[in-house]
Amino acid sequence: MAPRIPSETIEATDEQLSKRGRFFSRNKHQKPANEDEKPSTGDEVTKINTSASTDVTPVGFTELFRFATRYELILDFFGLIAAAGAGAAQPLMSLLFGNLTQDFVTFGMTLAEAKTGNATAAAQLPAAAAGFRHTTSKDAASLVYIGVAMFCCTFIYMTIWVYTGEVASKRLRERYLQSILRQDIAFFDSVGAGEVATRIQTDTHLVQQGISEKVAMCCNFLAAFFTGFILAYIRSWRLALAMSSILPCIAITGSFMNKFVSKYMQMSRQFISDSGSLAEEVISTIRTAQAFGTQKALADIYDTHINKSRQVDAQAAVWHGAGLAAFFLCDIFSLRSRFLFRYHSY
């Protein structure tokens, strides 16, 4: 017969266990609550975690590089310099190509006048031919040099920014997984089974696109934009001023397009995460689904999420196409203003 344990010993042991707490408790280092405070129930904890998970605080663009090292930031700086150089070289190539075309037109007019029997043009033809060979060879060599420099700069900034973007996104995925593993169990009540894996794949890829070569390409386009307008104002400030009138239209159109496209992209990612959660749950309980014969119903639910994502992507594509159409419409108006300027100047 087993020995009888006194009730005083059991009460003392329960009191020690209650004071000691659980081994895996996450609140064992926190201070004890006041006596007036009531312990929160499970529903309240779930509500707090749900509100914390839904209220996502947006971060600035520079905070996306928080996982980059100093070496990678230095590489990104040199990559931006290379991108700016490659962008600034594009208007220079257009200018040199325009000068080369003008040399061909001038020499062709002199040659045509010499063939018609103009003595002055015939006398100037040898000098015009020599000057044409000299200027064309010089402009062609300059185009080759600028083309080689653009190739080197483009290769440098694309390699640097793609490398740093891949490394930073890898660290971001690791930190995201570590943060998920440190959450309480109540946090996963409002998170689907496959949502974590889907978020790691889609959201981090989106962040990678934002901190990868697109940053350098944006710097490239800005350098080309400012360099082109500077050269335009130097060559013909009246025509450049007439073409500058379309800049507010382009800015307003771009802001509207980015607003709606980003909104629909977020909705599409949410539908994709829901479909991933459903697929993960079904695969984990495939025996139950097979036993009750619910494959068709679950497939229909999955198709519903996918169709919603496709519809949202279609709406985003419509706004993107409308924005590009507005851009080209602004270009048409700029060409019309250029034609009117040339017509009134003559």
Kindly write down the DSSP assignment for every residue of 31-78, as one continuous string.
PPPPSSSPPP-HHHHHHHHHHHHH-PPP--SGGGGTT--HHHHHHHHH
pLDDT above 90 covers a percentage of the chain that reads: 16
Report d(CA 146, CA 83) in Å as an integer. 14
- Nearest 5°: phi and psi at 72? -70, -35
List Cβ neighbours of 158 (8 Å cut-off, separation of 6 or more).
213, 216
Return the higher-pLDDT residue of 256 and 19: 256
CB 75 within 8 A of CB 118: no
Q: How many residues does the chain have?
A: 346
Q: Rounded to an integer, what distance in angstroms lies between the CA atom of residue 155 and that of residue 41?
A: 58
Residue 109 has pLDDT above 60, yes or no: yes
Q: Which of 231, 251, 248, 232 is nearest to 240 (CA)?
A: 232
Residue 327 main-chain phi, psi, to 5 deg: -60, -45
The pLDDT assigned to 1 comes to 43
Whether residue 320 contacts residue 257, with contact meaning beta carbons closer than 8 Å, is answered with yes
Asked if the model's pLDDT at residue 97 lies above 70, the reply is yes
Does the model's pTM come out above 0.75?
Answer: no
HSE of 118 in the Cβ direction (CA atoms, 13 Å)? Answer: 12
Under the banding of pLDDT at 50, 70 and 90, the label for residue 326 is confident
3-class DSSP state of 193: coil
Q: Which of 145, 150, 207 is nearest to 173 (CA)?
A: 207
Q: What's the average model confidence in pLDDT over 87-102?
A: 87
Domain borders along the chain are: 62-235, 237-346
Average pLDDT in the chain: 77
Q: Which residue has the higher pLDDT, 218 or 329?
A: 218
Q: Looking at per-residue confidence, does 261 or 200 come out higher?
A: 261
What local confidence, expressed as pLDDT, does residue 35 receive? 41
Q: What is the mean pLDDT of residues 324-334?
A: 77
Q: Which residues contact 87 (CB under 8 A, 6 or more apart)?
A: 219, 220, 221, 222, 223, 224, 225, 227
Homologous superfamily (CATH) for 62-235: ABC transporter type 1, transmembrane domain (1.20.1560.10)
Average pLDDT over residues 132-156: 90
pLDDT digits (tens, 9 = 90+) for 273-321: 888 888 888 888 888 888 888 888 989 999 998 899 899 989 888 888 8
